[in-house]
Amino acid sequence: MADVRPLTLRVPEPAVRPGGTPVFADIATSEAGAVRRPPIDVAADDIRDLAYAIIRVLDDEGRAVGPWAGTRDDAEALEGLRHMMTLRAFDARMLMAQRQGKTSFYMQHLGEEAVSCAVQRALEPGDMHFPTYRQAGLLVAAGYPLTTMMNQIFSNAEDPLHGRQLPIMYSSKAFGFFSISGNLATQYIQAVGWAMASAIKGDTRIAAAWIGDGATAEPDFHAALVFASTYRAPVMLNVVNNQWAISTFSGLARGSSATFAARGHGFGIPALRVDGNDYLAVHAVARWAAERARANLGPTLIEYVTYRAGAHSTSDDPSAYRPKAEFDAWPLGDPVERLKRHLIARRAWSEERHRQGEAEILDTILAAQREAEAHGTLHSGPRPSARDMFEGVYATMPPHLRRQRQEAGY
């Protein structure tokens, strides 16, 4: 036993910490257009390599190339650009509103706008998304009123959730956006259940599950993959790998040892890995998975490779755990800039029209904000009734809650 040395525990560390020079050596980006597009009825085993590649459509010159190109025409791509610009501007205004004390909390999408905005356009009305707190692009791209989003953020008198929920935990059945929970990963298996229900009823609607890289470590992720595979549920299983779970890098959830997409193969689920900052690639891949699900061919796991450019939330300071300039070094760039460049290259857009567009979008958002603030903000103006606090716990109020409401003075 003389040669047995004491064991040591490995605690993974990101390649670089604050003060260091950002590197992304482990992001092996594929060439745009280089990854093949299999038929939607492909067997999971036949596309194992796609879980380790990155599907990209937009090349460095802004051209849309390869077999995944062509799911969006110029008008649709322009619409996508507008959605992403709107989400970015909305984020900036709400970040400011939080700093001004108009709300308690906010979470941005900076750098990840393409993912939710593009996937939204790949599904149909009636389908149901089970989002996390970082997919507001699903609402923006669906045309959900910005004022209503702000009413929720401000917890004001017109908040559709009557002030019961933390800001950004939106809910809209009509817009196919399932109620957001603070508990991570729970919605992933719920999406599978919703999809199973659609199949049980012989419906044609499909579900989309959403999760971040960090939350894949939760057991609900595993349960969702088992159930989705076992029952061949019509669900798109989205993993948004933005490299960071608050302060922990994706390697802590083992995103570097094998890709998150590769997890699907342990369950016989076909998996795709896509450039999350390439609006056209995201749309194409999501459409592929949606067609597959709707054709009763079962689930698809998709990993969107992106980067969380902003702070985790308004309560977070990323400079404490990662280099400040890391986003500048991110090899997949900025989704807004890349789609803009594509549209300019196609002469469907210009720098000038982009600036105009930004100004118009800001006007729209400011108008929405004025309207929302007229209904109150967290600490001033009209607010939801305290009486409302007791409503909706049950379908009908049981006697003990009636007593408590009375005791509270309502």
- What phi, psi does 146 have (nearest 5°)? -60, -35
Closest contact distance (angstroms) between CB of 241 and other proteins is 22
- The span from the CA of 338 to the CA of 138, in Å, is 20
- The span from the CA of 328 to the CA of 335, in Å, is 13
Bridge partners of residue 127, in order along the sequence: 125
Alpha-helical (H) ranges within 100-145 are: 113-120, 137-142
Whichever of 169 and 362 has its CB closer to other proteins, that residue is: 169
Site size toward other proteins (CB under 8 A) is 46
360 to 399: interface string for other proteins, x by CB under 8 A: --------------------------------xxxx--xx
> Taking CB under 8 A as the criterion, which residues in 252-311 touch other proteins?
none
Of positions 133, 194, 244, 260, contacts other proteins by CB under 8 A: 194
Task: Give the range of 182-190, 237-245, 279-287, 326-334 binding other proteins by CB under 8 A.
Answer: 182-190
Closest contact distance (angstroms) between CB of 250 and other proteins is 23
Measured CA distances, 152 to 81, 100, 141 (Å): 25, 17, 18
Of positions 3, 45, 75, 173, contacts other proteins by CB under 8 A: 173
| Helices first, then strands: H and E counts in the chain | 11, 7
- The span from the CA of 53 to the CA of 356, in Å, is 37
Q: Which amino acid is at 165?
A: Q
Closest contact distance (angstroms) between CB of 407 and other proteins is 12
Task: Give the range of 163-171, 270-278, 296-304, 368-376 binding other proteins by CB under 8 A.
Answer: 163-171
Written as six digits, the tokens of 16 are 């670089």
Whichever of 197 and 297 has its CB closer to other proteins, that residue is: 197
Residue 219 binds to other proteins (criterion: CB under 8 A): yes
Closest contact distance (angstroms) between CB of 194 and other proteins is 4
Written as six digits, the tokens of 383 are 């607010």
Closest contact distance (angstroms) between CB of 298 and other proteins is 15
Sign, Cα dihedral of 105, 127, 305, 14: positive
- The span from the CA of 318 to the CA of 315, in Å, is 10
Task: Give the range of 16-24, 169-177, 273-281, 347-355 binding other proteins by CB under 8 A.
Answer: 169-177
104 to 133: interface string for other proteins, x by CB under 8 A: ------------------------x-x---
Please say whether the beta carbons of 187 and 130 come within 8 A.
yes
Whichever of 10 and 400 has its CB closer to other proteins, that residue is: 400
191-200 as b/e: b if 16+ CB within 10 A: bbbbbbebbe
Of positions 97, 192, 286, 368, contacts other proteins by CB under 8 A: 192
Please say whether the beta carbons of 120 and 90 come within 8 A.
no
Of positions 29, 30, 171, 204, contacts other proteins by CB under 8 A: 171
Please tell me what DSSP assigns to residue 367: H
Written as six digits, the tokens of 167 are 């800001």
* Residues at the site binding other proteins, with contacts judged by CB under 8 A: 128, 130, 160-162, 164-165, 169, 171-173, 178-179, 181-183, 186, 188-198, 200-201, 207, 219-220, 222-224, 226-227, 230, 392-395, 398-400
